Structure 1
């Protein structure tokens, strides 16, 4: 059997060395380009039609799913203060006398990233939404303004006539919600949680940033401002809970001592008025006893009042301090979401056309060889 000669000759009869299998000759490149030109010539109408169909479909999608602009409100603040001590100093002796111990445990229940989770928690968000705010000169419940202007009616509630017509008649506590109000609040909170973020711009700083992006400028600005107020009020209430309870107890006991002291002083005054000329020893003993009781109660009362005042100062000292670094400034940053349906449709149409052309040409090649 004779071996196959792989050597080629040119037009002058000179032998050419065969090309290695991993190289392509310029002639083969030209041949392939000519073939692609023929393929395009046979299928350009199909390519144009599928790309046009994809582009038109994407354009229709963009028209029917037009995105509203998003207004972003940002507020930077610093959370400081809130330090508590293990001892109340001058309160020690009185607290021991009342059986309250020498001090109170640390009331700081928030630390680190816990604050970020707390600021976005549902109870705090609900308190903000149930506030009455003045927008465009009118008092309105913030949650009802959110329902009307956030876009939730046209997106999440588009297929529910009941929810589209829903609103809260008044501010309510969570335990007062009806079944429909619980459903509505749950969906509203889910949407707000995706619109709002609490972050720390710089890990080395103590600054915090509260940000939200909503479809209405006044809604975004008012929500951020009122939400920070809610966080501050709720945070202060929880941060100073134990100290506030002790302050209320000391105030109550001071009032009780004051009532007893007033009664003793009245009895002493009446006894002295009725017995001005009495020289009997028994009468003098009674007067001395009432005087001693009045003096003792006066001393205890003044100590209780001073301790209550010191406790009130401690309450102020332990309260956290929210300092606004950058308030919300109008007009807000407006982000217009560019629709990409048409571009995506053209790309999908092009890919589909290439697949169909490949299958057609493959089938044509097989049939020709057959």
Structure 2
């Protein structure tokens, strides 16, 4: 029977089932209302716990330009017997940039960057963040009191103690998950918007600039990595040719002094040979030195540039409350209500069929 019912499944039957489900949900509207209300209330509570204080939003609209082309580096590649270096621009394009900017290496580098405070002292940004926000009071004081007294003293996570590492990770997770976002404000343009939302206006503005500078440095290092490797090879070649040139010049000078007193014509053979070697090595050395200097200038030109289109302006935009979890709770409550109504109706029908079978027997 079940196989026959499945075989006769038609679009008309599907629409009938959809209409029956809609009527069933409307008939039990009070269940739907209660579940949505419960989900909304839970979401509201979570939002209120996560947003106890005013948030200051620092927005920076920027663009990325100045990527290098492989044709510019073709002469250096051919000189070394290599192909032209190619940058990995795709790593920082589109949605990839949105992911990279929230990765641990980028955030660790930004949070562990020393900054100069208004009083002239230098402090790691992670400590400045802890001293200027309410993370310790709102989230750690009740459950992790030992964390409230810890300060970050190392610029490398590997050098930190276990407790120091836990505190630093607590800062990193909060910043990554709740306080930074990046998006493309207009799909018709190539501009990106970095938004930092924190409890301190100056801290939010400082970190937005710091994070943008960090991702720019990471981008430039990635784009020029192969060129810098090529420059290292070229530097070794220049040093090697320079050492050979010094040796040949020294031998030529010694031979020239000896030959001034020599009478035999064969004495001039060695001097001529050293002269040719010196001239040849000298030309190679000058060519390699010229290529090395050009390569250094090219690395500067090929480095991508982050251009700030719209900087954050004080006073910053503020927000007291977000409704993300409340909306999510309402949606979850809606689907739970529908599932409950359908399950309840299925149970009633199954119970009715069981009674009918009992009466017949």
Instruction: Check whether TM > 0.5.
Output: yes
Alpha-carbon spacing, 1:249–1:107, altered in 2? closer, same or farther (3 Å) = farther
Work out the CA distance in 2 between the residues paired with 1:151 and 1:71. 13
Match of 2:68 among 63, 83, 96: 83
Alignment of 1:240 onto 2:224: yes
Match of 1:219 among 164, 185, 203: 203
Q: CA deviation at 1:102?
A: 3.5
Alpha-carbon spacing, 1:239–1:106, altered in 2? closer, same or farther (3 Å) = closer
Map of 2:126 onto structure 1: 143
For residues 1-370 of structure 1, the aligned pairs below 5 Å read 67-85=52-70, 88-96=73-81, 101-108=82-89, 109-137=91-119, 138-158=121-141, 159-169=143-153, 171-193=154-176, 194-337=178-321
Q: CA deviation at 1:132?
A: 1.4
Q: CA deviation at 1:157?
A: 0.7
Contact 2:87 2:222 in 1 (8 A): no
* Between 285-294 and 203-212, the greater mean CA deviation after superposition: 203-212
Alpha-carbon spacing, 1:84–1:292, altered in 2? closer, same or farther (3 Å) = same
Q: CA deviation at 1:275?
A: 2.5
Work out the CA distance in 1 between the residues paired with 2:70 and 2:50. 58
Alignment partner of 2:138: what SS? coil
Deviations 1:52-104 (A, max 9, x none): xxxxxxxxxx9x999322111111111112233157343354222xxxx2423
Give the TM-score normalised by structure 2.
0.70
Contact 1:72 1:214 in 2 (8 A): yes
Larger C-alpha radius of gyration, 1 or 2? 1
Deviations 1:278-297 (A, max 9, x none): 24233201100110110010
Work out the CA distance in 2 between the residues paired with 1:161 and 1:113. 39
Deviations 1:218-270 (A, max 9, x none): 11111111111111111111121111101111111111101210221122122
Work out the CA distance in 1 between the residues paired with 2:171 and 2:227. 35
Work out the CA distance in 1 between the residues paired with 2:139 and 2:242. 61
Deviations 1:99-153 (A, max 9, x none): xx24234443433211111111111111111111122223222101111222111
Alpha-carbon spacing, 1:308–1:141, altered in 2? closer, same or farther (3 Å) = same
Give the TM-score normalised by structure 1.
0.68
CA RMSD of aligned residues (A): 2.4
